[in-house]
Amino acid sequence: MGISLEDLLEMMPKPEGKPQAEDFEIWRDNLPALEIFLACHKQWRILTGVDKPWYQGLRYVEVEAVMRLKRVKDKAAVFADLQVMEDAAVEALNAR
């Protein structure tokens, strides 16, 4: 999709003062879903709570628009993979 995995990982913000995660491998079959997930990083439905925000999930209308703009061929398969990532992200984000 125009960017190498190495460049993508280099562009990701690295929190200062915290240990970096170990290197990891992305399977080629999972790369389309990861690219869409990262492209949708500002498309979260977030509720404001008393003590912290509550992440509900991604806004699917915007996800569909991103997939269309990125010319994803197998939208159904990428969407299914994206939902697995979304579920894990919601759990991690709300556990903070």
The share of the chain scoring above pLDDT 70, in percent, equals: 80
Q: Is the pTM of this model over 0.75?
A: no
User: Per-residue pLDDT tens for 13-52?
Assistant: 666 666 566 777 889 999 999 999 999 999 999 998 788 8
| Stronger pLDDT, 85 or 96, i.e. the higher one | 85
* Alpha-carbon dihedral sign for residues 5, 85, 62, 70: positive
Give the CA distances from residue 38 to residues 6, 17, 48, 66, in Å, rounded to whole numbers and listed in that order: 14, 23, 23, 10
Distance CA 5, CA 12 (A): 11
